[in-house]
């Protein structure tokens, strides 16, 4: 996901996307343990996407970003 798309989303959309990424991250980690994950870079990309979303949500909480 591009950063520009995250910047255009509202808080509810970001929370939904965050939940989706957390679920995907768990599946990727499980598949890696089972030896079924083809592309291990998906884990890193997903973790970083979660971090980006968490940062934006925290900025909304602190009032750095306006709703």
pTM: 0.89
Task: Return d(Cα 12, Cα 6) in angstroms, integer.
Answer: 12
- Domain-embedded: residue 67: no
- Domain-embedded: residue 41: yes
The number of residues making up the chain comes to 67
Q: Which domain holds residue 23?
A: 3-62
- Domain-embedded: residue 42: yes
How many domains does the chain divide into?
1
Task: Return d(Cα 34, Cα 63) in angstroms, integer.
Answer: 43
What is the tens place of the pLDDT at every residue in 23-52?
999 999 999 999 999 999 999 999 999 999
């Amino acid at each position: 996901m591009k950063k520009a798309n995250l910047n255009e989303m509202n808080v509810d959309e970001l929370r939904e996307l965050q939940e989706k990424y957390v679920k995907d991250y768990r599946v990727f980690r499980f598949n890696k343990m089972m030896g079924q994950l083809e592309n291990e870079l998906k884990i890193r990309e997903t973790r970083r996407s979660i971090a980006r979303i968490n940062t934006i949500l925290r900025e909304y909480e602190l009032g750095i970003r306006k709703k």
